[in-house]
Amino acid sequence: MPTPATRSKPLPSASAPSRHVYDVIVLGSQLGGALAAALLAKRGYSVLLVEHDGTGPGYEHDDFVLPYAPFVAPALKTMPAVEEAFTELGLTTQLHRNQQPHVPELQLVLPRHRVDLHTDATRRRAELVREFGTEGERILADLTASATQHEPSDAFFKEGPPLPPDGLMEGWNLKKRMRQHPGLETEPRLTGEDEPSKLLRGLLPFVVHLDQPASPLARTRPLSQALQTPWRYPGGRDGLRKLLFERFVELGGDLLSPENTDTYVVEELHFDGGRFSGVKLLRSDTLYRASCLVSATDAGALRRLITDRKKHRALSEQLDLSTIKSFLFAVNWVVPEAVLPRGLGELLLLDTEDTELGPLLLQQHPARTAEGKDDPSLRVICAGGFVPASVRDLGEGYLQSLAMRIDTHLEALMPFTKNKRLLRSAPYLDAGAVRGSRLMPHPHYVFDSEAVLGVTGLKQHTPAKNLLLAGREVLPGLGLEGEFLAGARATRLVQEMLKKKAVLKR
């Protein structure tokens, strides 16, 4: 059975925090919670971060550390409000330094065409015209315009709008703000029915957490950010989490994670009447108490920690509004770099012509051993596509058949590679030490609630007045930016709730 991967720079041991009472407990490993924990620690609050559903940066299989899924990280400049939060934490320079472009920026592979979308505008135009003639000029114009469509809504998000709104007053104020920003309703530019335009739109599911986004904002802003700068971050989503966790610990926060303790899984939430009071961990008799809880785990996982659902019916009913509809199912191949086809892109969208599987997103990574060392002679090819959440009930045989279908597309893309590969691994099948939602690294949700601007999901306020949500289900239609915005807003809501005076600025 695989074990959690080893970090090259382990976090400090925190098996038994010296304190048992905090201002805030942050529960879960999602990025909104990591940002909220770091910001609150920076602003002088005592914070305990319990990772709960985390397993480290990747999973181990046959002495390799492999990614859970391909991951695209737009540049901070495309997310101005998020950039402000990272600047406050002193992480902007480090983030800019670590982010790396793919080469080419994005590659499209169609049944009869392969197009390299280089950063350089002249080379990009030459590629599109070479493959599609005069039609390539129109595709280039649409693509160029699409990559800036997030800009008209930047000012709206920099204002820190109350999304989702809570109550009539917040809803009324939000509608007033929305009327001042007509760019929120700009229709997508990339609407052509030609093959490359349709495939480019296929990138959208990989950058949002909302099933079938329909509103103009949900279809333009996340895709625009990704098309402008589809960068990689070392370690992907888990690398970003590591960056925030390290800063959080530097700021004096207490972290319980699988990399510094065996006691990081919450067994149950405790309440005092209708208010949250503390968390109890597995294999621990200690009750960690706090004035409020910020949840950054999936609603289903949080719901399972409420032992008396009848007593906390309103909270349970709010969490029940979210349902996982599909998730990103991935396969990793480890192969010698020398056998890869010449010109294979580092980030690639593949038209599978499979109506069920849809497009695949492929990402090349340097192969990394369990000791944390890169092997320059080997590459990991991580390929993923979205499948219905219901496939989890169809048994391992069906999941193996899904992995084999992805294998077939990889074999067609990379002839003569199969017999040279050192390892084939599917996280859902082979990451045996992984808990809970990490096996679904990129879920899509549906909600039994109104989607304001077509991007919102669960409200951050809950019926347990001192329990806030800061997970990816709050702003699923904004993808990675939505996760960070939920964390930044949760930080503000905690400060309003605690009304702590003379908070020390560090």
Residue extents of the structural domains in the chain: 21-58+236-322+448-498
What separation in angstroms does the CA of 450 have from each of 378, 439, 479? 48, 28, 18
Q: Which of 166, 99, 95 is nearest to 460 (CA)?
A: 166
CA atoms of 118 and 230, how far apart (whole Å): 11
SS3 23: strand
- Range 422-435 burial, b when 16+ CB lie within 10 A, else e: ebbbbbbbbbeebe
Distance from C-alpha of 383 to C-alpha of 396, rounded to nearest angstrom = 19
> How far apart are alpha carbons 461 and 167 in whole angstroms?
10
Taking each helix axis from N to C end, the angle separating 134-146 and 216-228, rounded to the nearest 10 degrees, works out to 100
Q: Alpha-carbon distance 170 to 455, whole Å?
A: 17
Architecture of the structural domain at 21-58+236-322+448-498: 3-Layer(bba) Sandwich (3.50)
Residue with tokens 């109104």: 450
| Beta strand 467-469 pairing with 287-295 | parallel
- The band of 59, judged by pLDDT with boundaries at 50, 70 and 90, is confident
Question: Which pLDDT score is estimated for 4?
Answer: 37
Q: Which residue has the higher pLDDT, 331 or 283?
A: 331
Tokens encoding 50: 């319990």
State residue 270 phi and psi, 5-degree precision: -110, 145
d(C-alpha 379, C-alpha 88), whole Å:
36
Residue 37 makes CB contacts below 8 A (sequence gap 6+) with: 24, 26, 47, 49, 244, 248, 253, 294
Give the span between the Cα atoms of 71 and 231, in whole angstroms: 9
- Written as one letter, the residue type at 69 is A
Q: Using the predicted structure, report yes or no on whether residue 224 has a pLDDT greater than 60.
A: yes
* 406 vs 382: CA distance, rounded Å: 10
Pair type for strands 347-350 and 467-469? unpaired
The pTM score is: 0.93
pLDDT at 439: 63
Q: What are phi and psi of 249, to 5 degrees?
A: -65, -40
For residue 1, what pLDDT is reported?
A: 34
Q: Which amino acid is present at 409?
A: H
* Residue in the structure block whose two tokens are 């950039």: 83
The percent of residues above 90 in pLDDT, for the chain, comes to: 78
Query: E strands within 180-274?
Result: 254-256, 266-272
Q: Judge whether 465 and 274 are in contact, CB under 8 Å.
A: yes
* Local confidence band at 11 (pLDDT 50, 70, 90 cut-offs): low
Q: How would residue 10 be classed by pLDDT, with cut points 50, 70 and 90?
A: low
Mean pLDDT of the chain: 91
Question: Position of tokens 């709206």?
Answer: 156
112-126, 169-183, 342-356, 422-436: least confident range: 422-436
Q: Output the CA angle 362-366-371, nearest 5 degrees.
A: 130
Residues of the chain with pLDDT > 70, as a percent, come to: 93
User: In the predicted model, is pLDDT for residue 372 greater than 50?
Assistant: yes
Instruction: Yes or no: say if 30 and 471 are a contact pair by the CB < 8 Å rule.
Output: yes
Mean pLDDT of 86-112: 94
Which are the contacts of 75, defined by CB distance < 8 A and separation ≥ 6?
A: 99, 225, 228, 229, 231
Measure the CA–CA gap between 473 and 342, rounded to whole angstroms. Answer: 40
Residues 6+ apart with CB under 8 A from 503: 43, 44, 45, 495
Q: How far apart are CA 118 and CA 106, in angstroms?
A: 7
